[in-house]
Structure 1
Amino acid sequence: MTLDRRSLLAGAAAAPLAAALPGRRVRAQAANTIKIGVLNDQSGLYRDLAGPGSTVCVRQAVQEFGAQGFAVEVVQADHQNKPDVGSNIVRQWIDRDGVDVIMDVPTSSVALAVNGVVREKNKVYLNSTAATSDLTGPACSPNTIHWTYDTYMLAKGTGGAMVRAGGDTWFFITADYAFGHALERDTAEFVRRAGGRVLGAVRTPFPGTTDFSSFLVQAQASRAKVIGLANAGGDTINCIKQAAEFGLTRRGVKLAGLLVFLSDIHALGLQTAQGLVLTETFYWDLNDRTRALTQRVRPHMPNNAPPTMVQAGCYSATLHYLKTVQQMGVAAAKADGAAVIARMKAMPTDDDAFGPGRIREDGRKLHPAYLFEVKKPEESRGPWDYYKLLQTVPAEEAFRPLAEGGCPLVRS
């Protein structure tokens, strides 16, 4: 075969073009791929209530959404309950890895830090697990939706119920970070509105302690009728166990678990947890739709456990987000996180976790809340049958009124 000058030049020009094609394909694939980053506690106090189970629920939503003309990739990371670790992961995810939406994020101090980073980068933040109501108050953002529950809802539900039942004097054992402070603040306000009194409070290190005996002794010395546990996960479990060991409940003291998850009740056992009153927005055995969701997701969950409310919230938020991306188009959704959030707010929500709902101007996702009592051992029909329903709070009443939050996004 004879090669002339023209053939050589054509071949030389084609070589770099051929080498560039794989890179172009990668970029084209990335441009048509939505990346979801699940950020939570994978190894500490909040592992069981969120952790790997949240990722399972996100993947379930992706699977059910199906192939709609774009790909979806899910990544996960452990923020170790540290704001600096969480915010650094998010910056790396967005700047280096092209993550479009941050999901879950327990620990309110981490959540508030992530909230600022996502706003700066104009991406999307769908918070399911952090509780501080400040996310729809002073710290509200056009890039954030607070999905599952918050400290105001918990305070109104559990705190209000305890005062109505005669628990009119309170002492708080409070995790010493943003979540605990917000939960104590919101609950104390409801106690006072109902005519009750707060006799004192003690702040406990977070993370950093498993021995709550000295704090329980201070609470008992106050002679309060109710000890409000403004903590969560392993801290709540340890407080309740140690209070039982001290015999506080036998002496007439009521424990108010202000944030208690199904996983906590499982760890405590019904013998210890029976009679606790708590507020949740999801329970696996609440209705036909929650049971159907649980049946689909449970085989993939750690220890075959039904989802907690925040894990169900990750499923719900992911599904609504993907529906929004489908409407907007991938390119538009990746380019402008605030525009995605605005479109999500404009669309009604509906899924098997929470049923119909909507998202308010301040980023608060609205759905009913439920006041439950933990069953006695003899009332339970089997594993994970732990709650009996006391009261349903309608969606429009469960959360803080829009005008009271102080969100700068709300037009007066």
Structure 2
Amino acid sequence: MTYLRTWAVRALVCALTGAGAASVSAAEPFRIGVLDDMTSSLADQQGPGDVVGVKMAVADFGGKVLGRPIEVLAADHQNKPDIGSLIARQWYEKDDVQAIVGLGHSGVALAVQQLTREKNRVQINTAAGSSDLTGKACSPNSVHWVFDSYSFANSTAKAVMKSGHADTWFFITLDYAYGHALERDASNVVKANGGKVIGSVRHPLNSSDMASYLLQAQNAKANVIALANSGGDTINGIKQAKEFGVSTAGQQVVALTAFLTNIHAIGLETAKGTLFADAFYWDQSDEARAFSKRFQAIHGRPPTSLQAGAYGATLHYLKAVEDAGSADPAAVMAKMRAMPINDVMTKNGRIRPDGRVIRDIYIFEVKNPAESKGEWDLLKLKATIPGDEAFRPLNAGDCPLVQN
């Protein structure tokens, strides 16, 4: 198991806030954990960049809360629910971690969410995607911050169907909780808008060879081949579809989940024209550009929506702790729900009773190479979907916390 305690953040926070060694040692640290894929196919879009976002939030907050220095722990869950649960348990029981951020694998997030409720701590899912986190598995101790399978599937599928010639769909689906939820949620949108799902196939995480799956999709002759996956699997799917000449055969490949780093890895020549949903782009406003410049100076690249979300979620959580005057989860969660969310990626956002953050979702189109003015100048905004339209209705998720 990889278990990394980021002791260096304490020194960083002290340097940025002017706190001396004596003040740091005077109180037990207030600990926040970042639990993510740090080394595998999802790491570029979350992982180490999530840690950077959380550290920046801690530093911007001032480095202390409730009179205690804030310490950030980080660990790699290796995309395995048992390992993620083991790390979280150790953090809660031995390291007195008050909140966990990230959880960039839905199977891990769902497992840890149950543990978080049992141990009465706080969990902020900034990188996991399954809409079940605020559905049947919802928890009073958890928040789903950036996106979910419903919002991306709903927004992307509607945008693609409006573009025309997209009435039959075939899914290439990642065989774990997020992929299943993404296919389910997108299928419902397709059917509700008069389309048909004529087939699907599932693949394991980190599939380097998509040939057999793409062949099945081609043979099905669907108008749309939908990649219900993420990270390296999405990258491989789009690249290999290009090699197979899928688009020249009249079929459209759609990425139901894509992030800035995925598009960068694919390249504009291959990805140009691709439509996808996201919650943030580094170049969409002056505020976003200023934050992203700071982030890139540390991390070497602009933030994805997940990494910007880790920053905003941590700031919101720390403000709630400060306002509550306590780390008690019930008091903190009440404050988090009461406070509007206004940060670098969210304006007038709110947390619903099921834990879902409601914010705008955007449809982006990947630029042609000739349109790009720099390495990370990759996207152009096509549409803004208001949060109440992008996310699942509150009474439709079967969350036990919601009174219908």
Query: What TM-score, normalized to structure 2?
Result: 0.92
Map residues 317-356 of structure 1 onto 2, 5 A cutoff.
317-329=313-325, 332-333=326-327, 336-356=328-348
Aligned residue in 2 for 1:17: none
Q: In the TM superposition, what is the alpha-carbon distance from 1:26 to its structure 2 partner? A: 9.8
Aligned residue in 2 for 1:395: 387
Q: For 1:298, which of 290, 296, 299 is the aligned residue?
A: 296
SS in structure 2 at match of 1:100 = strand
Take 1:80 and 1:249, find their aligned partners in 2: how far apart are those partners?
34
> Which amino acid letter does the alignment assign opposite residue 384 of structure 2?
T
Give 5+ residue unaligned stretches, structure 1: 1-24
Number of residues paired by the alignment?
379
Take 2:266 and 2:24, find their aligned partners in 1: how far apart are those partners?
49
Question: Which moved further from structure 2: 255-264 or 290-299?
Answer: 290-299
Take 2:25 and 2:119, find their aligned partners in 1: how far apart are those partners?
20
SS in structure 1 at match of 2:124 = strand
> Which amino acid letter does the alignment assign opposite residue 38 of structure 1?
V
Q: For 2:281, which of 277, 280, 283 is the aligned residue?
A: 283
Q: For 2:86, which of 77, 85, 88 is the aligned residue?
A: 88
Give % identity. Answer: 52
Contact 2:308 2:344 in 1 (8 A): no
Contact 1:293 1:353 in 2 (8 A): no
Contact 1:277 1:373 in 2 (8 A): yes
Map residues 1-400 of structure 1 onto 2, 5 A cutoff.
29-30=27-28, 33-66=29-62, 67=64, 69-166=67-164, 167-207=166-206, 209-301=207-299, 304-329=300-325, 332-333=326-327, 336-400=328-392
SS in structure 1 at match of 2:348 = strand
Contact 2:57 2:315 in 1 (8 A): yes
Take 2:330 and 2:400, find their aligned partners in 1: how far apart are those partners?
15
> Which amino acid letter does the alignment assign opposite residue 42 of structure 2?
Y
SS in structure 2 at match of 1:383 = coil
SS in structure 2 at match of 1:348 = coil
- Cα deviation, 1:124-169, whole Å, max 9, x if unaligned, reads 0000111000111100000000000001101111111111222110
SS in structure 1 at match of 2:97 = coil
Take 1:410 and 1:292, find their aligned partners in 2: how far apart are those partners?
38
Question: Which moved further from structure 2: 218-227 or 162-171?
Answer: 162-171
Q: In the TM superposition, what is the alpha-carbon distance from 1:27 to its structure 2 partner? A: 9.5
Give 5+ residue unaligned stretches, structure 2: 1-22
Runs of 4+ in structure 1 off by over 6 angstroms are 25-28
Take 1:362 and 1:241, find their aligned partners in 2: how far apart are those partners?
37
Question: Which moved further from structure 2: 64-73 or 130-139?
Answer: 64-73
- Cα deviation, 1:300-344, whole Å, max 9, x if unaligned, reads 11xx11000000110010000000111112xx31xx323321221
Contact 1:292 1:352 in 2 (8 A): no
RMSD: 1.3
Q: In the TM superposition, what is the alpha-carbon distance from 1:262 to its structure 2 partner? A: 0.3
Contact 2:37 2:46 in 1 (8 A): yes
> Which amino acid letter does the alignment assign opposite residue 195 of structure 1?
G
Contact 2:24 2:68 in 1 (8 A): no
Aligned residue in 2 for 1:7: none
Take 1:339 and 1:136, find their aligned partners in 2: how far apart are those partners?
20
SS in structure 2 at match of 1:227 = strand
Note closer, same or farther for the CA distance 1:26–1:261 as it changes in structure 2 (3 Å cut): closer
Question: Which moved further from structure 2: 343-352 or 76-85?
Answer: 343-352
Aligned residue in 2 for 1:15: none
Take 1:353 and 1:155, find their aligned partners in 2: how far apart are those partners?
20
Q: In the TM superposition, what is the alpha-carbon distance from 1:374 to its structure 2 partner? A: 0.3
SS in structure 2 at match of 1:37 = strand
Take 2:260 and 2:78, find their aligned partners in 1: how far apart are those partners?
22
Q: In the TM superposition, what is the alpha-carbon distance from 1:403 to its structure 2 partner? A: 1.0
